[in-house]
Chain A
């Protein structure tokens, strides 16, 4: 089977696996709605007007957080899967397949993530509407926002590959994962939009790839976001996606060299 067809088959396999894991998706949705409920209570009790941002209401913050949480939760923890494969030695079987291990892994994870992102977006929109009492996302922007969410998820999956591989050198991927995850939460603006950050920190955060992953897709629900702004969102996402692909490719090469020379 040509490589492209094999990759499509792996994406489809990931999608079907995610769809078959009904309990897993229900648990994920339960956790997601719980987090939204917690933050809706926080934001509804927040004196939002004090921020001095024109037009900003609690509803905007609830919808913003809904999108950032979809991007964070839909991919799950791809690095842990790689860590388990390395620690158990299962990766050895993966190295023998005709599709390179890293590429095959990414394809399957993207299929899984796409399914989850779709289900969580539908659930999240309903939950955000119920919790905030307002629909702040224009209908025309729905497909664009979803595309930005998917690109954000794709970057998280992509970075999961090199983060997981760090286990080969350090014995565990958790330290690298935690550094990556918390940088994403803070500089990506998981809880609050970067427009509410102190100016210097906000400017720095916007220059990082983390903003392209979380803030960029979620900014679509903030007051003042214009249709033309999607061009900037997608441009930043595509640039950083390419940079992450390069990083993943180079670490993948180094890891494969290590596995073939020294074993797993």
Chain B
């Protein structure tokens, strides 16, 4: 089986496993869908009081929300295992993935599917087409950019979670850092100063996930779309490189590191 076929099979089985408890899965997805819409009410109230936020209107915020929701949802659905990497390393459970004849990272990422992600992805369409006034012609571009955002989010999560190879008791820290990253992506970043922007384009690349794609769509700027795709490839490569460096330190019995 070629690599793409292997990845497609992994993804298919992962998604199917997520629906093993269909009723629970559907409930989780519906609740997440409603959750995103309800949270958006705050922005509707904001723009009911104020005309714009430094040039951005409710439509721009909607597109940004949709992109963030799609990115996060797609990551959860296809690569939900990314949130467990640190604990997998700590528990010595990485052995299962190392015993396979392929690179361990894809099977590790596809070891779990977060079904609530379907609700996130569904809500993205409401944000894009209802509140954001995008047209069906915009769909390929916005889905492409949001999917690139999912790749960046996954890559950053791999980097953050891989800290467990070096740092004991880092699972909690990984969760906190990831929550920080996700929190930044759902707020407009064009209001920040230069120093913060530099951070958002490097260490915490939230700007590639939700700022640059929105600006690419608003301004029709092809180079911004290209930069988002390039960032997805770049951060993916960095994540794989760091994971492989960490893997060289892995010796199964890392529980000792946690205890010390």
**Which A residues fall within an 8 A CB radius of B?**
23-24, 27-28, 30-31, 34-35, 37-39, 41-42, 44-48, 50-51, 170-172, 174-175, 178-179, 182-183, 185-186, 190-192, 196-198, 201
- B48: interface (CB < 8 Å): yes
Residues of B within 8 A of A27 (CB): 172-173, 176
Other 12 A-B pairs with CB < 8 A, given A182-B38, A186-B42: A23-B169, A27-B172, A27-B176, A31-B180, A42-B53, A42-B188, A44-B191, A47-B51, A171-B21, A185-B39, A192-B46, A196-B49
Interface string of B4-31 (1 = CB under 8 A from A): 0000000000000000010010011001
- B252: interface (CB < 8 Å): no
Contact of A178 among B32, B46, B51, B54 (CB under 8 A): B32
Contact of A45 among B169, B176, B191 (CB under 8 A): B191
Residues of A within 8 A of B38 (CB): 182-183, 185-186
Question: Do B35 and A182 touch across chains, with their CB atoms under 8 A apart?
Answer: yes
Q: Which DSSP category, helix, strand, loop or mixed, fits chain B's interface?
A: helix
If A27-B173, A46-B50, A48-B50 touch, does A197 touch B45 (CB 8 Å cutoff)? yes
Closest to B30 in A: A175
Question: Do B192 and A41 touch across chains, with their CB atoms under 8 A apart?
Answer: yes
- B137: interface (CB < 8 Å): no
Closest to A198 in B: B48
> Lowest 5 A-B CB distances belong to which pairs?
A41-B191, A45-B191, A27-B176, A182-B38, A45-B54
Residues of B within 8 A of A35 (CB): 183
Question: Do A46 and B53 touch across chains, with their CB atoms under 8 A apart?
Answer: yes
- B187: interface (CB < 8 Å): yes
Q: Which residues of B104-134 have CB atoms within 8 Å of chain A's CB atoms?
A: 116
A131, B29: Cα distance in complex, Å: 38
Contact of A192 among B28, B42, B173, B184 (CB under 8 A): B42
Residues of B within 8 A of A186 (CB): 38-39, 41-42
Question: Do A182 and B39 touch across chains, with their CB atoms under 8 A apart?
Answer: yes
A198, B45: Cα distance in complex, Å: 7
Residue of A38, A171, A172 with most partner-chain B CB within 10 A: A38
Nearest CB of chain B from residue A181's CB, rounded to whole Å: 8
A47, B55: Cα distance in complex, Å: 11
If A34-B183, A186-B41, A196-B45 touch, does A178 touch B50 (CB 8 Å cutoff)? no
Closest to B38 in A: A182
Question: Do B172 and A51 touch across chains, with their CB atoms under 8 A apart?
Answer: no
A23, B174: Cα distance in complex, Å: 12
Question: Do A191 and B42 touch across chains, with their CB atoms under 8 A apart?
Answer: yes
A196, B43: Cα distance in complex, Å: 12
- B179: interface (CB < 8 Å): yes
A94, B192: Cα distance in complex, Å: 48
Nearest CB of chain B from residue A193's CB, rounded to whole Å: 10
Nearest CB of chain B from residue A261's CB, rounded to whole Å: 23
Residues of B within 8 A of A37 (CB): 196
Q: Which residues of B179-215 have CB atoms within 8 Å of chain A's CB atoms?
A: 179-180, 183-184, 187-188, 191-193, 196
Residues of A within 8 A of B39 (CB): 182, 185-186
Question: Do A179 and B31 touch across chains, with their CB atoms under 8 A apart?
Answer: yes
A172, B192: Cα distance in complex, Å: 38
Nearest CB of chain A from residue B49's CB, rounded to whole Å: 4
Residues of A within 8 A of B54 (CB): 45
Residue of A23, A28, A178, A190 with most partner-chain B CB within 10 A: A178
Q: Which residues of B140-188 have CB atoms within 8 Å of chain A's CB atoms?
A: 169, 172-173, 176, 179-180, 183-184, 187-188
A46, B43: Cα distance in complex, Å: 12
A34, B27: Cα distance in complex, Å: 32
A170, B179: Cα distance in complex, Å: 26
Question: Do A42 and B50 touch across chains, with their CB atoms under 8 A apart?
Answer: no
If A27-B176, A35-B183, A179-B31 touch, does A45 touch B53 (CB 8 Å cutoff)? yes
Interface string of B35-74 (1 = CB under 8 A from A): 1001101100110111111100000000000000000000
Question: Do B184 and A190 touch across chains, with their CB atoms under 8 A apart?
Answer: no
Nearest CB of chain A from residue B203's CB, rounded to whole Å: 13
Closest to A182 in B: B38
A68, B39: Cα distance in complex, Å: 15
Closest to A37 in B: B196
Contact of A38 among B28, B34, B184 (CB under 8 A): B184
What would be 10 A-B contacts, judged by CB atoms less than 8 Å apart? A23-B172, A27-B176, A31-B176, A34-B180, A41-B192, A45-B53, A50-B49, A174-B28, A185-B38, A196-B45
Residues of A within 8 A of B184 (CB): 34, 38
If A50-B49, A197-B45 touch, does A175 touch B180 (CB 8 Å cutoff)? no
Closest to A40 in B: B191
Nearest CB of chain B from residue A187's CB, rounded to whole Å: 9
Question: Do B188 and A178 touch across chains, with their CB atoms under 8 A apart?
Answer: no
